[in-house]
A and B are shown apart, each in its own frame.
Chain A
Amino acid sequence: QVQLQESGPGLVKPSETLSLTCAVSGYSISSGYYWGWIRQPPGKGLEWIGSIYHSGSTYYNPSLKSRVTISVDTSKNQFSLKLSSVTAADTAVYYCARERWLQPPAGGAFDIWGQGTMVTVSS
């Protein structure tokens, strides 16, 4: 079955760039679907960060757009997140997820999720 696994540093210093990778198994990213990143600060709700298609087409949360880059590497069957100029407010569990488009061009739902990875921003 399709599985997603996040990886990356668990601790990032303020003002630096947070970098995470999501490895996809059981499905070829090149075959379709969109792929997204969602985060959840400790004890708080969910916030969508952005999504990408295998072609490289992206769309981002406007509140984070200036700091976010999502990319895809189809040869490694993975996609990545970079968030620049981080502060303590970026401390969160970061999830990657498969995005199933439901009613184009409106968007869709996240139907398969990784287990999440905790990233703390601290000096």
Chain B
Amino acid sequence: DIQMTQSPSSLSASVGDRVTITCQASQDISNYLNWYQQKPGKAPKLLIYDASNLETGVPSRFSGSGSGTDFTFTISSLQPEDIATYYCQQYDNLQYTFGQGTKLEIK
């Protein structure tokens, strides 16, 4: 099984800050990596697919990068509505695993 290690597990930042979350795969997954946002009591929402592609309708302040085993998710300027938990998800060989999540709070 491919394990995904996401960090940090929680993060406090101010409105306007640049926020970065990392996700590390236990083996090379090329760019088979997606990012989701989950607000309390809601279903996850796909933000980034294939490591760096922005899903249609998602604000451009969200971005992703990386390949192989190391991936980064960035919010360029944190907005109040970005308060949520963020998850990475790998897909390889028709087996999917999620990172443990990063809970983002406003400072």
Q: Do A and B come from one complex?
A: yes
Which residues of A pack against B, CB within 8 Å?
45-48, 51, 59, 61-63, 95, 97, 100, 102-103, 105-111, 113-116
B46 touches A110 (CB 8 A): yes
Q: Within residues 51 to 100 of chain B, which ones have a CB less than 8 A from any CB in chain A?
A: 55, 87, 89, 91-100
Given A102-B91, A107-B32; A113-B98 close (CB under 8 Å): no
Q: A114-B43, A115-B43 are in contact. Are A45 and B92 (CB under 8 A)?
A: no
A95 to chain B, nearest CB (A): 6
A48-B96 contact given A102-B49, A103-B50, A109-B91, CB 8 Å threshold: yes
CB-based A-B contact count at 8 angstroms: 72
Assembly CA distance A59 to B94 (angstroms):
7
The 8 Å CB contact of A106, one of B36, B94, B99, B100, is B94
A/B interface sample: 21 pairs, CB < 8 A? A45-B87, A45-B100, A46-B36, A46-B87, A46-B89, A48-B89, A48-B98, A61-B96, A97-B43, A102-B32, A103-B50, A105-B93, A106-B30, A106-B92, A106-B94, A107-B91, A109-B34, A110-B36, A110-B89, A111-B55, A115-B43
Q: Is the CB of A62 within 8 A of B92?
A: no
B residues near A (Cβ < 8 Å) are 1, 30, 32, 34, 36, 38, 42-46, 49-50, 55, 87, 89, 91-101
User: What 5 pairs across the A-B complex have the smallest Cβ distances?
Assistant: A107-B91, A113-B43, A48-B96, A46-B98, A109-B34
Known contacts A102-B91, A106-B91, A106-B92; is A48 also within 8 Å of B46 by CB? no
Tell me, in angstroms, the Cα distance from A116 to B44 when the chains sit together: 10
